[in-house]
Chain A
Amino acid sequence: MARNSGRVTGVNGNMVTVQFDGDVSQNEVGYILLGEQRLKSEVIRISGKIASLQVFEMTAGISVGEKVEFTGLMLSVELGPGLLTQIYDGLQNPLPELAQQCGFFLQRGVYLQPIPDKSWDFTPVAKVGDTLFPAQTIGTVPEGIFTHRIMVPFDFANVAWTVDSIRPAGTYGVREEIAVLKDPKGNKKSVSMVFTWPIKRPITNYVERLRPTEPLVTQVRIIDTFLPVAKGGTYCIPGPFGAGKTVLQHMTSRNADIDIVIIAACGERAGEVVETLKEFPELIDPRTGKTLMERTIIICNTSSMPVAAREASVYTAVTIAEYYRQMGLHILLLADSTSRWAQAMREMSGRLEEIPGEEAFPAYLESVIASFYERAGIVKLSDGSKGSVTIGGTVSPAGGNFEEPVTQATLKVVGAFHGLSRERSDARKYPAVHPLESWSKYASVIDAGKVAYARNILFGGNEVSQMMKVVGEEGTSLDDYVVYLKSELIDSVYLQQNSFDPVDFAAPIERQELVFDVLFKVLGSVLQLEDKKAARAFINEIRQKFIDWNNTARDDERFEMYLREIEELVAQRFVGYERRAAKILQVK
């Protein structure tokens, strides 16, 4: 089919209006021809014979009358082996290859092949005569630490395809034919290891969606114990600038117990991506013995890169995540920051002169955010295996005020809320997740009763501390004061965690269980403390021991020593367990 073309009729920022002749579809990709350059654009509105396109490049130099070619295809990504370890921009342009070709600067109109031309060791799974549906496995190739399934392309009609021919085990180029499939009417289609999929359409080739119940361990204590995340779940991290959103996500990308991590650096600083870029190829992942980079994909559309491509970048990321989910893998998508994505929508909406909603965000902001997070989930695949996509997004609220459209829309749909507080980050209490205001709907690995007990102390301690600001320490009862000290203890030895300490930066789940049990006994104990001074001195001593313990590696001989010392310290002043604690511990 001969594709359409058109002519530019207007340019406004990164939006171009085009008059066209034949048929043009919404979200179709078009190229503006500017001399030698082809500028990629996406149709975002059609009205009569005029299409509005958002241009994924700078629009300087475009004039009225310039030719536009429509492709008939929606904005898509390439899927296939070789995605892992890649660093892409929002449109899946490989940045290192681009740098090789263009040098220091991004050059507009240069689009390189996303999946490298490489050969893979193919092992067939299906045989001639087998029938397969889209997303079922034809064969496999080893991709680093994973078995990468070569599947019937997802955009094939949802009918039973018969394997007409398939290549024997061997090494084939990624774009070479590896099988021919035949639909029930006898139409044949060739299949290689690569196919494309439109990024704004969710991949739904699964049997059913399940409830996210399995914890996703991040090795951040405050999260795993108090505000857990589940595989296939969603969570958000709103917080003012400098509160620690990026550092928290960075730590999670390193330590999360998950198969694949996809980092979507969306409209934030380029420098932050560089750290990941340079560190991950050097860091060994203790779970696999390979570098962290081998389980990582970076989608990087930083703040000075074109805004429209920023809007696309989160979809590019989630589509790749869904693709790997189809192989029975668990994927964590970290997006920093979803506010920049929302702002990109706002800019476009403004240019389209749509009726603005609150803070000029478009009226559809909420539904767009909801459908993005809806693409997370844990699913059962046709072969019975399970795969999941978990999405964690940071939010950068204007003025650090959570009462704004993006935060509010996000809070409506996510399963956990890790709100960062300016007060805590100013006091350098990292990670600055607010323990009382944040919440999670997922189950913790730690016993729920114990967690609730500790949370109660946090609430109680907060009340006492508020009161002390009015009546002073001298006006506070010893009992209240002890609750306050215990809440401070939880904060300083458990909630706070030093991201830059070689041991404390990651707390494996067994370690969290052990430390929390010991801490729980302190919290649940009635202690013999003469006065406030003695109480403070005692808690300080315990605190110091816990901090030393947290900074001691599991295989260090001092590990057991600190544990014993803490238990002895408590034993010296132990009177008995508080009633509710005794019930939880099932002792008298």
Chain B
Amino acid sequence: MQKVYTKIESIAGNVISVKAEGVRNSDLAIVTSSHGESLANVIKLEGETVSLQVFAGARGISTGDHVRFLGYPMRISYSEDLLGRIFNGSGIPRDNGPELTENLIEIGGPAVNPAKRIIPRNMIRTGIPMIDVFNTLVESQKLPIFSVSGEPYNEVLARIAMQAEVDLIILGGMGLKYDDYLYFKETLEKSGAMSRTIFFVHTASDPTVECLLVPDISLAVAEKFALDGKKVLVLLTDMTNFADAMKEIAITMEQVPSNRGYPGDLYSSLAARYEKAVDFEGAGSLTILAVTTMPGDDVTHPVPDNTGYITEGQYYLKNSRIEPFGSLSRLKQQVNKDTRDDHRALMDGMIKLYASYKESQEKKSMGFQMSEWDDKLLQYGDLFETKLMDLSVNIPLEEALDLGWEILAECFEPKETGIRSELVLKHWPKSAS
């Protein structure tokens, strides 16, 4: 169907409507205006009236501009040629490489049948003790970094990506600052990881609608590679911008907002994306690590709140550290039983002691007397924060566990740690006792 419609009935926000026949929901169209061409997709049908969201934005579109329906939904080319390339949210190259048109796949495909899923089983090593020891990342996990703006969340994301032993990295940038975009690009190039990376980037200055497409396009490609046996890591930053773009469209479409202006289907929309994380039996896997900035450092804000209800834990980034409280990997118990015999006990024991340290610290700040025990805890907390929590620490899990024992031995008697005696006997540093 190649009929061209030349009468745009209404323009509101980035949504236009035309009267047309035989158009299918979700299909693509090309809108041609004096500013050039833009893709658009159908988001609503009402009698003859077809509403479309214009990817490049409706600014400057005139009622007499042309709309041509393509008769198919949003697609992206899938092949090894994608590797090392950079695209925008509509799948158009942002680098100087050629446009890819072969082997097109649809985006936003159906969900995986729960009966076909398997229990996650492989740890992803990052070299960051706060992750590896305390909140282990697992292949096929979906996990956001909850961050206050201004925290080095993109650095953390890049670091995990560089260190993770995966076959392929797909970076979906939404509302990315141009500097951050360059930072990712340079970091990946420098480390030689660029050749196994695909970028889908929407920067802060690009049209809003393209921001909406980034997760779907990134995940569609990732899913395909995973089906082809690859271990894929998808990085999405920043999902709060994605949610805000959804909010914008919802308001344009005059949907009733549910909470602080966000549409009622915020949960379902976020879940549809995050649930793409999967481990395919007999093939590859798809792991999602996302950034969710928390407006006003408020974890109850609808975006982090809905995200927390969907994902399998979260890393809480605060004061340039991954906080032990608030951070959670819900899949850690699937893998930390097989790493080392002291992993679980040390993880629990050290966090409980750190919680006691926080209490002592509070007591101290209120001017209450410090006991001998309080002093030990204060020393411990300090060592924990500098030697393990600091983000610059980069050591393998086993070394981090050993370091944990050393810190304990420096501050406590074995029986004060609350850790099972047999483990203490085996792992307590010989020099200390």
Using CB atoms and an 8 Å cutoff, list the residues of chain A in contact with chain B.
Answer: 9-13, 17, 58-65, 87, 95-96, 98-99, 102-108, 240-242, 267, 269-271, 273-275, 277-278, 300, 302-305, 307, 340, 343, 346-347, 350, 353, 356, 359-361, 396, 398-401, 426-428, 472-474, 500
**Contact A106–B265 (Cβ < 8 Å):** no
Q: Is the CB of A63 within 8 A of B45?
A: yes
Number of interface residues of B (CB under 8 A): 66
Chain B residues with CB under 8 Å of A269's CB are 275, 310, 312
Q: A96-B115, A241-B305, A304-B111 are in contact. List 10 more A-B contacts (CB 8 A).
A: A10-B46, A87-B114, A99-B113, A104-B112, A105-B111, A242-B308, A274-B118, A398-B306, A399-B301, A400-B305
Q: Which residue of B lies closest to A95 (CB)?
A: B115
The distance in angstroms between the C-alpha atoms of A331 and B264, with both chains bound, is 33
Q: Tell me whether B45 and A277 are in contact (CB under 8 A).
A: no
Q: Verify A105–B113 contact, CB threshold 8 A.
A: yes
Question: B12 an interface residue at 8 Å Cβ cutoff?
Answer: no
Q: Which of A103, A304, A346, A361 contacts B271 (CB 8 A)?
A: A304
Complex: chain B residue closest to A57, CB-CB: B110
CB–CB B114/A274 < 8 A: yes
Q: How far is the CB of A493 from chain B (nearest CB, A)?
A: 15
Chain A residue numbers with a CB within 8 Å of B47 are 9-10, 64
A279 (CB) vs chain B CBs: closest residue: B119
Indicate whether A274 sits within 8 Å of B268 (C-beta atoms), given known contacts A61-B25, A396-B309.
no
**Closest 7 pairs between A and B when the two form their complex, measured CB to CB:** A399-B300, A303-B271, A304-B275, A60-B26, A241-B308, A360-B258, A95-B115
Return chain B residues, CB-CB under 8 Å to A427: 355
Q: Please, which residue of chain B has its CB at the minimum distance from the CB of A346?
A: B264
Q: How far, in Å, is B223 (CB) from chain A's closest CB?
A: 9
Interface residue ranges of B105-163 to A (CB < 8 Å): 108-120
In the complex, per-residue mask of B341-356: 1 if CB is within 8 Å of any chain A CB, else 0: 0000000100110010
Q: Does B23 sit at the interface, judged by CB under 8 A?
A: yes
CB neighbours (8 Å) of A103 from chain B are: 113, 116
- Contact across chains for B280 and A104 when beta carbons are under 8 A apart: yes
In contact, A62 and B25 (Cβ under 8 angstroms): yes
9 residue pairs bridging A and B, Cβ less than 8 Å apart: A10-B45, A60-B26, A61-B25, A61-B26, A241-B308, A267-B268, A270-B117, A360-B264, A474-B368
* A64 in contact with B110 (CB, 8 Å): no
Whether B113 and A350, one on each chain, are in contact in the complex, defined by CB atoms closer than 8 angstroms, is: no
Question: Which DSSP category, helix, strand, loop or mixed, fits chain A's interface?
Answer: mixed
Residues of A within 8 A of B26 (CB): 59-61
8 Å CB contact of A304 from B73, B272, B306: B272
Contacts of B271 in A (CB 8 A): 267, 303-304
Which A residue's beta carbon lies closest to that of B301? A399
Say whether B13 faces chain A, with CB atoms less than 8 Å apart. no
Contact A99 to B368, CB < 8 A, known contacts A61-B24, A242-B308, A350-B255: no
Contacts of B101 in A (CB 8 A): none
Give the contacting residue for A11; candidates B44, B111, B114, B301; CB below 8 A: B44
B195: A residues at CB distance < 8 A: none
Among A87, A275, A399, A474, point to the contact of B369 (Cβ < 8 A). A474
Residue of B nearest to A65 (CB): B22
Q: Which of A350, A356, A400 has the most CB of B within 10 A?
A: A350
- How distant is the Cα of A87 from the Cα of B310 in the complex, in angstroms? 22
Which chain B positions have C-beta within 8 A of A277?
A: 114-115
Within 8 A of A (CB), among B289-325: 300-302, 305-306, 308-310, 312-313, 325
A108 CB, min distance to chain B CBs, angstroms: 7
Asked if B112 and A398 make an inter-chain contact with CB atoms under 8 angstroms apart, the answer reads: no
* Residues of chain B lying within 8 A (CB to CB) of residue A275: 119
Contact A107 B110 (CB under 8 A): yes
Chain A residues with Cβ under 8 A from B276's Cβ?
A: 304
- The answer to whether A398 touches B305 (Cβ under 8 A) is yes
Task: Please judge, given known A-B contacts A63-B24, A242-B330, A400-B300, whether A274 and B119 are in contact too, CB under 8 Å.
Answer: yes
Q: Give the CA-CA distance A273 to B118 in the complex, in Å.
A: 10
> What does the 1/0 interface line of B245-256 toward A look like (CB < 8 Å)?
000000000011
Residue from the set B227, B330, B331, B348 with the largest chain A CB neighbour count within 10 Å: B330
Shortest Cβ distance from residue A580 to the other chain B in the assembled complex, whole angstroms: 32
B112 and A105 contacting across the interface, CB-CB below 8 Å:
yes
| B180 proximal to A (CB < 8 A) | no
A438 to B47, CA, bound (A): 52
List of B residues within 8 angstroms of A340 by Cβ = 267
Tell which of B21, B115, B333 touches A500, judged by Cβ atoms closer than 8 Å. B333
Q: A12-B46, A270-B117, A427-B355 are in contact. Are A472 and B264 (CB under 8 A)?
A: no
CB distance from A44 to the nearest CB of B (A): 16
Write out the residue numbers on chain B whose beta carbons fall within 8 Å of the beta carbon of A102: 113
Please, which residues of chain A bring their CB within 8 A of the CB of B119?
274-275, 278
| Residues B114 and A60 in contact, CB atoms below 8 Å apart | no
- The residue on A at minimum CB distance from B20 is A64
